[in-house]
Structure 1
Amino acid sequence: MASKASLKGKGKVAKSGRGGSAAAPDERTAVKCVKVWSTWAMKKAKVAAQYGFIPLIIVVGMNSDPKPSLYQLLSPI
Structure 2
Amino acid sequence: MASRVALKGKGKTTKGSKASDDRSTAKCLKEWSTWTLKKAKVIAHYGFIPLVIVIGMNSEPKPQLSQLLSPV
When normalised by structure 1's length, the TM-score is: 0.72
1:11-22 aligned within 5 A: 14=7, 16=9
Which segments of 5 or more consecutive residues in structure 1 lack a partner in the other structure?
A: 1-11, 18-22
Partner-residue secondary structure (3-state), 1:24: helix
1:1-77 aligned within 5 A: 14=7, 16=9, 24-77=19-72
Give the number of the structure whose residues are more often helix, by fraction.
2
Which segments of 5 or more consecutive residues in structure 2 lack a partner in the other structure?
A: 11-17
| Structure 1 runs (4+) greater than 3 angstroms displaced | 12-17
Count of matched residue positions in the alignment of Structure 1 and Structure 2: 61
Aligned Cα root-mean-square deviation (Å) = 2.1
Percent of aligned pairs with the same amino acid: 62
Larger radius of gyration: 1
